Amino acid sequence: MSSGLFYAILGCALFALGLAATLLLREALRRVLAFNVMGSGGFLVFVGLAQRDGVVDPVPQAMVLTGIVVAVAATALALALLRRLEQTDAHEP
């Protein structure tokens, strides 16, 4: 088993774990974290399958790096919206 295939299988497992947690958990913060785990699994699959004959293609790596930056920004936005939602729920009678 090559290292790329190992990382792809591990990424599939992380994706499945994050998907199950996203569907099964009720708390919004835990769902955001589970969605991040699912995204990390997708990135790992993409990088793991980007190897050809032991040579790593730099284009998928650059795309994953860009995806990580976007995921961090989306997570920050989701957490800010979640915090605002909980603040408005606390002030309602």
Residue type, 74: A
CATH code for the domain of 17: 1.10.287.3510
Contact 53, 5 (CB under 8 A): no
Residues 55-77: tens digit of each pLDDT: 888 999 999 999 999 999 999 99
Look at the chain and report how many structural domains it folds into. Answer: 1
HSE of 2, CA atoms in CB hemisphere, 13 A: 12
Task: Single out the residue of 8, 13, 73, 88 nearest to residue 47, CA to CA.
Answer: 8
Residues 6-31: tens digit of each pLDDT = 999 999 999 999 999 999 999 999 99
| Model confidence, pTM | 0.84
Q: Which range marks the domain in which residue 7 is found? A: 3-91
Of 39, 30, 36, the C-alpha closest to 11 is: 39
